[in-house]
Amino acid sequence: MSTYTIQQGECLSSLAAKLGLTSWKDLYYYSGNEELREKRPSPNILAAGDVVAVPDSALQNKTVSCATGEEWQFVMQVTKVKLRLRLRSRDDTPYANKRFEITAGAAKATGRTLGAGIR
């Protein structure tokens, strides 16, 4: 078993993806992370410096044997991560029913916030 120290802005989903795991659950519920689960009852809330135990199987190269001269198709299961934002002013008042636009790389999302400033 190895360990990984969470950096600012990272989460279990991003770490799982980096390691080639299918889900954050593969890390959070790994037996070596009992202490992490006690410290962080919600898998969605981690802090920089939190230490995550990584199963040795996640660090091994994944290989598949197949014949040459033929065409092969490989399918990888990737878990989508849901992002939930709560938009508030500096005095903590929710931005209710406000238009927004979020850009992340080539992806763009637009919409309106709900009554509590949540989207």
pLDDT, position 32: 95
pLDDT along the chain (119 residues), means of 10: 90 86 90 95 91 86 85 79 80 89 89 78
- The pLDDT value given to residue 30: 95
**Where does the chain hold its CATH 3.10.350.10 domain(s)?**
2-59
| Candidate CATH numbers 3.30.1490.20, 3.10.350.10, 3.40.50.150, 3.40.1350.10; the one for domain 2-59 | 3.10.350.10
pLDDT given for residue 115 in this prediction: 79
Task: Give the number of C-alpha atoms closer than 13 A to the C-alpha of residue 79, restricted to the C-beta side.
Answer: 17
Cα–Cα distance list, 107 to 14, 68, 104 (Å): 17, 37, 5
Residues 105/79, Cβ–Cβ less than 8 Å: no
